[in-house]
Amino acid sequence: MTAPDTFTSFSLSAVLSNLKVGLCVLRGELGRMATGVLRCMEARQLRRRMDEEHAALGRRMMELLDAGVPATDDARIHELAGRAAFLRDELARHAAGADADRERHLARMARCCGNGGKG
């Protein structure tokens, strides 16, 4: 038998350190994936509600047009338009929050796993 090559031999502490970092990254990414799924479900629900508000707004506009009534003074039109605008703004805040969460996640992963899992 030959002596072990210094380039191919690994110390147990180095292997365990790499394993610890790998598990830290895996835990973080699984958590991020679960959060992403929940965020997608929430965004889908917001889009569905916004589509419903737009449909109700369109139906009300058609009712008023068929009746020959001006739509500018209709309180229901303003209410539906306000709800749709609120949901649109909520979707924008949701997307901005997802971007901010992603940045926080990357910083946390760099802090936690970038130093050999010692954080």
Q: Residue 117 — pLDDT band, cuts 50, 70, 90?
A: very low
Q: How far apart are CA 70 and CA 46, in angstroms?
A: 30
Do residues 116 and 20 lie in contact, with contact meaning Cβ atoms separated by under 8 Å? yes
Residue 106 lies in a domain: yes
Residue 8 lies in a domain: no
Task: Encode pLDDT of 8-43 as tens digits.
Answer: 566 888 888 888 888 988 998 999 999 999 999 999
Q: Residue 51 — pLDDT band, cuts 50, 70, 90?
A: very high
Residue 5 lies in a domain: no
Structural domain boundaries enclosing 94: 13-113
Task: Encode pLDDT of 79-108 as tens digits.
Answer: 989 999 999 999 999 999 999 999 998 898
pTM: predicted TM-score of the whole model, two decimal places: 0.67
Q: What is the pLDDT of residue 119?
A: 47
Domains: count for the chain: 1
Return all residues near 76 (Cβ < 8 A) that are at least 6 apart: 60
